[in-house]
A and B are shown apart, each in its own frame.
Chain A
Amino acid sequence: MQKEVMFAGFGGQGILLSAKLLAHAAMNQGAEVMWIPSYGPEMRGGTAYCTVIVSDRLIGSPIVKNPTHLVAMNRPSLEKFAPVVKSDGVVMINSSLIPVRSGRDDVDELIVPANDAAIEVGSVRCANIIAVAAFAARSKMVDLEILRECVKSQFASKAKLIPLNMAAFDKGLELAEGK
């Protein structure tokens, strides 16, 4: 069984880190993983996207045209990638910056005001942690406690940021449950 997640947004939103945390958690659970960033000219135009592939066997192609799930952090990303997500996938929409919806009735839309919630917990910079936590909770792709440990270890060298990111993580879980 293979699942692919497209993380997309603009530069500075922490897209690559969100994707890395998901890949790291899946690896710690024993899965085969691949993390494929965009590094080409589109990145230099301000958009960033990154694919994570998680599988129970060796992963073949790094090229994915129809991902299982999408985490869209800005409007151009949603408009570009929502049409190619597979049926029944999770489409996470950062509603703080995206006033529209996917226009699909065959996907599971997860509406998360990631930027607003991040400001609420202390810094807009942790919107990516809220997003990855909310996405993981809804998609059930990885164990949430393992993911939480990966977030902690990511910030191990900047320990003063751990409480903020843990608060963001919890906020993400809460938003995924629609509380």
Chain B
Amino acid sequence: MAKVLMKGNEAIGEAAIRAGCLNYFAYPITPQSEVAEYLAKRLPEAGGTFVQGESEVAVGYMIFGAAACGERVMTTSSSPGVSLMSEAISYIAGARCPAVFVNIMRGGPGLGGILPSQGDYFQATKGGGHGDYHMLVMAPDGVQEAVEMTMQAFPLAEKYRGPVMIMGDGMIGQMMEPVEFPEDLYVPPTNKDEWATNGMDTRKSDTKNIVKSLYLDPTVLNDHNLLLKSQYDRMKEEEVRFENYNTDGDYQALIVSYGTMSRVCKTAIDEMKAQGLEIGMVRPKTLFPFPEKAIHDAASKPGCKVVVSIEMSMGQMVEDVERVVKGKTPVQWYGQCGGEVPTPQKVMEHIQSLLNS
């Protein structure tokens, strides 16, 4: 298929349809409203359903309901909206239902602003909702990767029976890039008869499926928590994704950066290389599971004097970087908030000043 020029938000909507998602519930919020705009038109053509909820709280439970029935289902929102959905995300994780959440992040806290941000790292990777759960969190760095990750998110949500989140930011949602929709990324659903409340008419098994997150017996709940933990442990074994950039040779510093920020860092790394300064980068594509070994190994390379977590937040991912570098190399944070994406020039100046200090 030829490449088409699409906005990130529209491409995510199209990718969901190509992945077999025919249920989409959402409430508009800048900078992701084009997903809803696109799917309001496209989804009925594809035989699907879009319902605009009365709020993100309602949307969260619409997702829960559809997911419990074994349907492929997605919502998209931006930071304040995701906060409102967080209760439902916890219930969905507890009830082990597959669902896809897209967060096109904007500045915060509170209403914050509408420009790109990465301030929801903690919310996505450490909780957001209550209780012992994790989401598999993928962070695309452009429109093509947003398409691929959206298509992969549905089968991954079914494999682990839980919520999967795509973490973009306003830049990825709003910009246009050429994209393709790889047909081989479509994976048909397989295991829903084991758990979905999809009626007994066509189900192969004759056991009664119950979707719930309430376990009053402490030993039963403990077993349930252990089962969830085993899923997260398996994600750490099987789903870690990252990209190494300019790490083949020696480098004086290692950048860890994701999403839009990593694109800026790539330009900065190329320009520093042209000036004779070698800087490497590890770009996490999954924020949970975090690429622990890749970052630890890259940070431990002889000659690497400092590791810098560069984020559009006041220092969130840096805590995970510190955790996995384990003191092998000093870890620093650099970033900017409010919607001003740091320029390659600013990144270069910061790295150069760190190395000269």
Chain A positions within 8 Å of B, measured between CB atoms, are 20, 23-24, 27, 32-37, 39-41, 59-63, 65
Contact = CB atoms under 8 A, between A and B. Distances in A.
Interface residues of B, number: 27
26 contacts: A20-B5, A23-B176, A27-B5, A27-B178, A33-B177, A35-B5, A35-B176, A35-B177, A36-B175, A37-B175, A40-B339, A41-B113, A41-B114, A59-B177, A60-B263, A60-B264, A60-B266, A61-B263, A61-B268, A62-B260, A62-B341, A63-B341, A63-B343, A63-B344, A65-B343, A65-B345
Contacts of B17: none
Given A36-B175, A41-B114, A63-B341, 10 more contacts: A37-B175, A40-B339, A60-B264, A60-B266, A60-B344, A61-B266, A61-B267, A62-B260, A63-B344, A65-B345
Nearest to A57: B270
A39 B5 contact: no
Interface string B21-35: 000000000110000
A33 B341 CA distance: 19
Contacts of A35: 5, 175-177
A61 B344 contact: yes
Contacts of B175: 34-37, 62
Among B30, B176, B263, B270, the most chain A Cβ lie within 10 Å of the Cβ of B176
A23 B5 contact: yes
A63 B5 contact: no
B171 A62 contact: yes
B23 to A, nearest CB: 28
Interface string B1-25: 0010100000000000000000000
B30 to A, nearest CB: 7
Nearest to B344: A61
Shortest Cβ-Cβ A-B pairs, 9 listed: A60-B267, A35-B176, A61-B267, A60-B266, A61-B264, A36-B175, A27-B178, A61-B344, A63-B341
A126 to B, nearest CB: 21
Contact of A39 (B174, B178, B263, B267): B174
Nearest to A21: B5
B66 interface: no
Contacts of A34: 175-177
Contacts of B260: 62
Give the one of B3, B178, B345 with max A CB within 10 A: B178
A36 B143 CA distance: 12
A27 B114 CA distance: 29
Most buried by B among A23, A24, A27, A61: A61
B3 A61 contact: no
Contacts of B268: 61
